[in-house]
Chains A and B, each alone.
Chain A
Amino acid sequence: MSASSTSGVIGYFLEPSEALAAAAKTRDAGWKHFDFLTPFPIHGMEEAMGQRPSWIPYVTAVLAFIGILLAQALQNYVMVYDWPLNFGGKPHASWPSFVPITFEAMVFWAAIGTAIVAIVAGRVDSVPQPPPLLVKTGATVDRFVLWISATDPEWDAGEAVEFVRSLGAHGVELVEAGGKTHA
């Protein structure tokens, strides 16, 4: 087996606490392209993996403002310029009655946009993953899987296997590019 056909190494852990300890050691050992595949999010994992908090909230703030601006623009354009009607002498730009739609538009843009950006970010802002249709990691069942990708700048298959074993993983497997695994 040549090193180029290997896509990474996986190591199994059985509990969140084991996973957190392993992630911190992997971070400290200098691995960069590694990930933890888990059935549910683990509190403190971002820090253990050496990651900064998600930047999603900033995206949401921008989207919320876009929603507010669009709703205000539409309502003022229609009610003041394009179709000004006199409702009992009340002002055309009657801002209090524009509040509900402005609020709804803000929520719409912020919520839908955030969800789309988060799903895309989960794929793009990541390291190459073991292909889910080919490799059964058990990470959606009950395993906490350390994954070191072969794209890591310091990658060496033998070294990676030894390292994962030294973390006390309950099982270590090499994953080939085609998805085949062997212990």
Chain B
Amino acid sequence: MTRPETSPYATVLDDRQLTGRPIVLAGAGPLGGDVEVPEPLVTGAKKWKDVDQDICLHTEQFPTRRWWIAFAVALSMVGVLGFALASLFYSGMGIAGVNQPVGWGSFIINFVFWIGIGHAGTLISAVLYLFRQQWRTGINRAAEAMTLFAVACAGIFPIIHLGRPWFAYWLVPYPNARGPLWVNFNSPLAWDIFAISTYGLVSLTFWYMGLLPDLATVRDRATHPWRRHLYNALSFGWTGSHRAWRHYESAYLILAAFATPLVFSVHTIVSFDFATSVMPGWHATIFPPYFVIGAIFSGFAMVITLMSIMRGVFNLKHYITLNHMEAMAKVLLLTGMLVGFAYSTEFFMAWYSGSEWEGFVFKNRAFGPYGWAYAIMFTCNVFVPQLFWWKSLRRHPVVLFVVSVLVNVGMYFERYVIVVTSLHRDFLPSSWGMYHFTFWDYAILIGSFGLFFTLFLLFVRVLPVVAISEVKGVMDPRVARSAPPGRQVAPLGAGEVRP
């Protein structure tokens, strides 16, 4: 069957022409019936070489004033982090809010929060790759970068939670002069070390594998010889050879296949930190799936937040279309309901178990002194995403942004509720207490956001924020080719490739 020479995608120019529904080609079928094709993933009738220009441009020109302002703000927040950490190390844990009975406080909350954020990137890259969801190509690069930076932020917190962070290397099992004194491999805290470091390194590898062809694209556009040599070295001299693509594709598929269970394992192991203890409210078999779903939920919300900004600031609306945003909103709706289901299951089990302690903890969690935190959590995570039942709201940029921010507020409070409410009512009423953030807890939390945004702002300056080679692969060649059929093209002599 010969294909028609004109593409239905040539006329889809921007978001306003996207409906989120298939395009119907009347009478285009082999027997004269209608044919439905999905809407294009890239709008604006872009050509392949336009993709390079649109995406690499931000790495090639001097940053805008807006970027400098954002960077200055983020960097000063990193300064706050540095100051707070220095004070903490100098004075000791006493300046933070943790005390008896709440011995796990803001550091563990922040750790679980950031690790949760760090789940969406690899999920989008790996799981959606295995499921052949082609819309991932527009957002996977930035989402993976977000993952790396979130894991970097998360990694700080277990170390400062140790109290004596200069002994952090004791967590690594190696033959030593202390006995040898080994870590206890029965402990979930030891599993955590392996899980988080493996996750960080495998995510980095996966991200870098995806970057290789794009680094070569940046190299071929570069004018300065240093820049060309630098990006050539970074891309390991990538030429686009199909003999290399053959191994590359195979390795990428394998990485995705290994990263998928890895994503699920990491937050499962984080939940073991809680679930293997005997605290009422933590000692629950639902914790692994509950944590994993929460992580996907918060990670996708953060991706929506960042993409809402990036689409506008970097003019990426042709590559990250409203259809992409709607797809993510659907994930948010689904995972939001699953999280709500988990909250309800916890309550059911507290009642059904007949355990007095469990029953008390959950009644206290929802209606006790921290009832306000529980109310924020439940509203933001379960009620607010219900807005996405309406298609018009799933496709509304402002609604998407606001809901995604609220979801992450809710998810922060989820971790707050889990950590604090189980601890503040000890088994003996004489040991009961309350937990308050001090100035330093706030400073470190704000500082971790500063670190995250600083790294992200640097990333958008030096690397392509959209996976160029993958986006090119999902474009219609009839629209994207460099010259119309039948026309000859000029040969590219040395140095002529630059636009």
Contacts and interface: CB of A to CB of B under 8 A. Distances in A.
B494 A133 contact: no
Interface residues of A, number: 80
A148 interface: no
Contacts of B205: 111-112, 115
Given A14-B483, A133-B229, A123 B49 contact: no
Contacts of B208: 115
Given A41-B248, A142-B48, A12 B195 contact: no
Contacts of A147: 241
B259 to A, nearest CB: 7
A164 interface: no
A79 B497 CA distance: 61
Interface residues of B, number: 77
B247 A122 contact: yes
Interface string A26-56: 0000000001111111100110010101101
Contacts of B209: 115, 118-119
Interface in B137-190: 173, 179-182, 184-186, 188, 190
B259 A14 contact: no
A45 to B, nearest CB: 5
B201 A108 contact: yes
A100 B241 contact: no
B469 A40 contact: yes
B433 interface: no
Interface in A46-96: 46, 49, 51, 53-54, 56-57, 60, 74-75, 78-79, 82-83, 85, 87, 90, 94
Given A107-B261, A118-B248, A173-B491, A142 B481 contact: yes
Contact of A75 (B185, B232, B236, B250): B185
A129 interface: yes
A15 interface: yes
Interface in A116-140: 117-119, 121-123, 125-127, 129-130, 132-140
A82 B176 CA distance: 12
A137 B496 CA distance: 10
B480 interface: yes
Contact of A104 (B198, B228, B232, B490): B198
Contact of A14 (B179, B232, B250, B481): B481
A163 to B, nearest CB: 17
A122 B243 contact: yes
Contacts of B184: 85, 87
User: Counting chain A CB atoms within 10 Å of each CB, which of B190, B241, B489, B497 scores highest?
Assistant: B241
Contacts of A105: 194, 198
B262 interface: yes
B179 A140 contact: no
B472 A40 contact: yes
A130 B494 CA distance: 12
Which of A111, A127, A137 has the most C-beta atoms of chain B within 10 angstroms of its own C-beta?
A111
Given A12-B489, A78-B185, A134-B494, 4 more contacts: A36-B242, A75-B185, A115-B251, A172-B491
20 contacts: A17-B477, A35-B242, A37-B240, A37-B242, A38-B240, A40-B469, A41-B245, A83-B182, A97-B186, A101-B185, A107-B202, A114-B254, A115-B251, A123-B236, A132-B238, A136-B496, A140-B216, A140-B240, A171-B491, A179-B494
Interface of A: 12, 14-17, 23, 35-42, 45-46, 49, 51, 53-54, 56-57, 60, 74-75, 78-79, 82-83, 85, 87, 90, 94, 97-98, 100-101, 103-105, 107-108, 110-112, 114-115, 117-119, 121-123, 125-127, 129-130, 132-143, 145, 147, 170-173, 179-181, 183
